[in-house]
Structure 1
Amino acid sequence: MAAELGVETHVLRHWESVGALTVRRDGNGYRVYDDGALERARTVLRLRRAGLSLPEVTAAMAPTRAAAQAVVRAKISALGEEIAQRRHAVTFLRHTAECRHRYLDDCPECAAFVGEG
């Protein structure tokens, strides 16, 4: 299953240890990665790639739809804030790349950026 997902086996074990992935065990205690486990692992991987932490992934896979949606909505909000901060950073850096002042402290526009952050 690890090869099919493109992750290391220790990653799957870690997901299981933190509760993000539930895997059935056989009579000897060996993990049984059936189709259900594979689909759950794919969901964990998609959520991780979307930027959710493992605790967020675990919460997003909650049994109730409302609980899962609350986690996803909170992540959307956090990502929106991060995007706004990064856009602000890009604007500031573009200005500094073009700034005619030798030192940023000498530039009123640079000082304004610092005051906003």
Structure 2
Amino acid sequence: MVRTIGEAAAELGIEAHVLRHWEQAGALAVRRDGNGYRIFDDAALEQARTVLKLRRVGLSLPEVTAAMAPKKSAAQAVVREKIAALETEVRRMQQAITYLRHTADCRHRYLDDCPDCAAFVREL
């Protein structure tokens, strides 16, 4: 089935300009009809779905383009780098949650008076 850019965008739940941007950035390959209009066949729509999923898990457009490279090892390297970055971010967020929980229950009037709070601030 062939779709216009508007139909493809509606099916994906995004705006048409997003698909144009992805194409311009090199993350999406789209054919054109005789009049120059973008046409989305099933393969192009599936590629757009993949781009959308990768964007939603936090990959930038350059990372998406690299992750969709024909060479599997290059794609895997990008994904592994993103996993490492996300794991680092998760650890940082866990530390922040621990700190905030402590400060919510801290009996000290000022955070500087609390050794645990002061230690956390030094770790930042």
Instruction: Tell me the TM-score normalized by structure 1.
Output: 0.97
Which one of 51, 56, 62 corresponds to residue 49 of structure 1? 56
Aligned counterparts of 1:85 and 1:95: Cα–Cα separation in 2: 15
Residue 66 in structure 1 maps to residue 73 in structure 2? yes
Which one of 10, 22, 33 corresponds to residue 15 of structure 1? 22
Ranges in structure 1 where 5+ consecutive residues have no aligned partner = none
Higher relative contact order (CA 8 A, sep 6+): 2
Which stretches of structure 1, 4 residues or more, deviate above 2 A after TM superposition?
none
Number of equivalences:
117
Ranges in structure 2 where 5+ consecutive residues have no aligned partner = 1-7
Which one of 14, 19, 31 corresponds to residue 24 of structure 1? 31
Instruction: Please give the secondary structure, in 2, of the residue aligned with 1:3.
Output: helix
Deviations 1:27-83, CA, capped at 9 Å, x for gaps: 221101111110100000110111111111111011110000000000000000000
Aligned counterparts of 1:27 and 1:58: Cα–Cα separation in 2: 27
